[in-house]
């Protein structure tokens, strides 16, 4: 356990009192990290590390700039509009956060799989892409303590392929595609151990693979249904949700002040149901209307909630 610096103790108190204060503070920080009925496993960065380093929250509000790393190849979540400007649900939600700070983003674009190493190398301040809360990633940084978004994965099937249930994809000779560096690349090997899991650098590559029949299925977010079916109308969507996994912002592990602000902001947006409105704006209702797939969004306590049409 990392000790708090002495300036957190009240002058003149005994060593016992100081130890009690440390335990009290760490207990409070742990309680904040447990926010959300979804059980988001985020650990608060150690407050002690802030004693000699200025928080990025203070740097951002002082300079009015935030250096953000993003992957802009996942329309409608994140992409470049006709003017080359970052757009999409994830970008709009991120810019709502920064606007409330009075800060403008300075984007660094790169493939999603490269963003973790780039963050560790200091090439930018925070990953602006929603990040799935894989436990291994928590060894490399800190997740905000409240979900920003639930990734609702479904199966997109090649032309002529039909299944009665998802378990039929778990068979020798079945090829299942996903994007490199995503949570799917990890979880699909556990869900479909007998299938051949193929990973692709970009989602567009994986989509092309199922659209041209080179793989049997693509597992990715239901939000892409409109774009996938527009590009490859012969593809169908299996109406069963593979899983719904919390995603949130990911940052360096030594900045409690930034972590606490973003966690509080996300909790407030959950109460306002901000994400529900953005999902309906950017994703449309095709997956719900055509394949009866319910929209899963973030509830006021961080839990996943189904949003049904009508």
Q: Is the pLDDT of residue 30 over 60?
A: no
Residue 286 has a pLDDT of: 64
49 by Cβ neighbours in 10 Å (0-12 / 13-18 / 19+) ranks as middle
Per-residue pLDDT band for 52 (boundaries 50, 70, 90) equals low
CB atoms closer than 10 angstroms to residue 298? 29
Per-residue pLDDT band for 130 (boundaries 50, 70, 90) equals very high
Mean pLDDT across 78-91: 94
Residue 57 CA to residue 54 CA, distance in Å, equals 8
Would you call the peptide bond into 76 cis, given omega within 30 degrees of 0 as the criterion? yes
pTM above 0.85, yes or no: no
Mean pLDDT across 75-93: 93
Query: What is the average pLDDT value for the chain, to the nearest integer?
Result: 84
Q: What domains, with CATH codes, occur in the chain?
A: 43-151+248-291 (3.40.190.10), 153-243 (3.40.190.10)
Sequence-distant (6+) residues with CB within 8 A of 123 are 67, 69, 108
Q: What percent of the chain has pLDDT over 90?
A: 63
Sequence-distant (6+) residues with CB within 8 A of 133 are 40, 41, 42, 143, 245, 246, 247, 248
Measure the N-to-C terminal CA separation of the chain; round to a whole number of Å: 51
170 or 38: which leads in pLDDT: 170
């Amino acid at each position: 356990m990392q000790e708090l610096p002495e300036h957190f103790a009240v002058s003149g108190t005994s060593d016992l009192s100081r130890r009690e204060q440390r335990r009290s503070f760490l207990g409070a920080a742990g309680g904040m990290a447990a926010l959300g009925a979804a059980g988001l496993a985020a650990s608060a960065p150690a407050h002690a590390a802030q004693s000699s380093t200025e928080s990025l929250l203070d740097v951002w509000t002082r300079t009015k700039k935030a250096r953000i790393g993003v992957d802009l190849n996942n329309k409608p979540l994140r992409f470049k509009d006709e003017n080359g400007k970052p757009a999409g649900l994830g970008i709009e939600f991120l810019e709502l956060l920064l606007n409330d700070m009075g800060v403008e983003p300075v984007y660094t674009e790169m493939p999603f799989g490269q963003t973790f190493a780039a963050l560790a190398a200091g090439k930018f301040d925070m990953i602006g892409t929603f990040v799935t809360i894989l436990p291994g990633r928590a060894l490399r940084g800190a997740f905000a303590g409240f979900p920003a978004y639930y990734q609702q994965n479904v199966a997109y099937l090649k032309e002529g392929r039909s299944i009665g249930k998802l378990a039929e994809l778990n068979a020798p000779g079945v090829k299942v595609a996903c994007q490199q560096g995503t949570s799917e690349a990890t979880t699909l090997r556990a869900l479909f151990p007998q299938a051949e899991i193929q990973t692709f650098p970009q989602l567009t590559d994986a989509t092309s693979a199922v659209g041209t029949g080179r793989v049997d299925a693509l597992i990715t977010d239901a939000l892409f249904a409109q774009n996938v079916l527009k590009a490859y109308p012969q593809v169908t969507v299996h109406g069963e949700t593979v899983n719904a996994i919390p995603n949130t912002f990911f940052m360096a592990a030594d900045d409690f002040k930034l972590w606490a602000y973003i966690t509080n902001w996300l909790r407030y947006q959950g109460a306002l149901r901000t994400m529900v409105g953005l999902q309906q704006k950017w994703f449309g209702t095709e997956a719900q209307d055509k394949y009866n797939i319910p929209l899963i969004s973030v509830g006021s306590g961080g839990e996943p909630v189904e949003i049904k049409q009508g």
